[in-house]
Structure formats: structure tokens, C-alpha cells
Amino acid sequence: MTLSPAHTWRNLATLFKAGALFGLFSANAFAAVAAKADSPICPAATLNGSQHFGVQYQLSGAQHGTLQLLRRQAQTAYFNPGNGVGEWWNFSVAEHPSFIRVFAKQQRRIDYYMGDLRTLNIHVSQPEIESFAAAHLRSQLRHKGAGSCADSQVYEGDYQQVHYRLLWSDSLQLPLQLTTEHKGQIKQWQASKIMPAREVDMLLSRWQQFADTDYADIGDNETDPFLAQMINQGFIEHSEHAVYNSNGQPMSGQHIH
């Protein structure tokens, strides 16, 4: 399958495990929520065209949390500092991307390669990963004019039965704020902090030192308590022949197909 914006947002939602990526608001008018929201932080002009920075997004509504997008050239990562789970993509060879799932609290990581992604039938879009799944969405909305930040634009409209209002940064090629309305439910996230390159480097360098397991080798390590727990919690795709009980322990003699 190719990861559409909706698929990408659902994948990012696994970083929170408690519901959708975008926190739910109580049923209020779309304009009222937009008016009450704090203004997103604006990037400095020195970041124009940079590919080495981070953006911290704040989720608002019934579910609160923080999600960081980290960019270093062809690498893009999403990290939830609350639960310490991250997803790290490398598009240095665009036709053969690699992917690492990071577990910072356990100082562990799972490495996926192109063959693993092909086995899982996952085909990713580099522009969607790098734009927080907003590149295609922006092309479907109406341009409403300049935004509140320098080099920003406002887009609004309906797409696949959802109403969107997007504040887009031309310099970062990322959303600064996105509000959605669907069947009376309003959801919003927005940029709350621009992370300097040194902070991005520190995180990525620390992750690089974590104990790593290749995805292809998980089947040979099913007795590893960490892997069993992460599979049971849905953070790692299970191997074809493993079933885990509520404690994350392998149950022999049963299979999932």
C-alpha cells in the first residue's frame, strides 16, 4: 500500500497509542476554536531553505501531547518525548529508503530496510513524510492569502469530507498550524518551538548508539522480553509465526496469518 496523508497520520498516531494523532476538541464552532488558539511560533528568516532543524508540535483537545519533527538533510524523524517512541526515515537513496523505530526509554531500536518495507507492503512518499503529510493536502485547498508569519500562506477548503484550515511555512515547507473539522469534531495541532540543528544532532546521535535489532531478525528473538512487549503493544509488526499473550509472552502452537 502507498501511505496517503491519512495513512501517514494514522501511523504517527501509534506514537501516542491513546487515539488519533490530532487531539479532539469538544463540539464548538470551527471559527471559535481557531480564534481561541494560541498563535504558532514563526521560524526565523535564517532557516529559509534549511534542511537541518526541528519543529515541535503541540496537540490540543481531549488528548494532549507533544510531537517533534526532526530534519537533517535526507533524514526525517518523528518523536514523541512523552512515551519516548520515534520513527526515523532516511531517504539518502530515495528509491531505497530505510526506516528505524526508536524506543528511547529502553535505549533500543528496530531497523527496517527496503526489503522489509516491501515485505510489509509499505510504499512511502518522501514529500509526505517530510511535510507532515501535508504536501498533497495543500494542493487540494484554496489559497486564502498571506499568513501571520513571514513567508507563510493560509489554505482552506474541503477535502474528502473534512474541512481544513492550514497555515503553511514556505521557508520550512511544513505546516505551522492545521485545524480540521469533520462531523462537528474539531482537531488542531500547531508549531510551538523551532529546534536548532544542534538539538536535532544530539537526539539522532543518541539514537544511533541504541542497541539495534534488524526487523528481519525479530523472528529469531521472540523470547526477548522487550520485543515481545513492543509487539504486544502494537509498536512492532509481529512475525508471521508469533502470538503474544496479554503479558507480551510468546504463546507456542498458535499462529497469526
| Residue 160 sits in the same domain as residue 248 | no
User: What is the full per-residue pLDDT of the chain (257 aa) written as tens digits?
Assistant: 344 344 444 444 444 432 223 222 222 323 333 334 468 889 887 677 789 999 999 988 656 788 999 999 999 999 999 889 999 999 999 888 989 999 999 999 999 988 888 888 877 889 999 999 899 999 999 999 999 999 999 999 999 999 999 999 999 999 999 988 888 888 888 999 999 999 999 999 999 999 999 888 887 777 888 888 777 777 666 443 333 333 333 333 332 22
Residues 185 and 214 in one domain: yes
Please tell me whether residues 87 and 153 are part of one structural domain. yes
pTM for this prediction: 0.77
Biggest CA pair distance of the chain: 61
Looking at the fold, whether 129 and 203 belong to one and the same domain comes out as yes
**CA–CA distance, 92 with 94 (Å, rounded to integer):** 6
- The CATH number of residue 92's host domain is 2.50.20
117 and 183 share a domain? yes
The verdict on 138 and 256 lying in the same domain is: no
Same domain, 235 and 111: no
Domain count, the chain: 2
Same domain, 122 and 245: no
Q: Is the dihedral of CA 210, 214, 217, 222 positive or negative?
A: positive
Task: Give residues with Cβ within 8 angstroms of 88, minimum separation 6.
Answer: 75, 76, 77, 99, 100, 101, 102, 204, 207
> Could you tell me if 143 and 252 lie in one domain?
no
**Closest to 129 measured CA to CA, from 3, 42, 215, 1:** 3
Selection from 176, 8, 132, 18 nearest residue 82 by Cα? 18
Expressed as residue numbers, the domain containing 102 is: 5-220
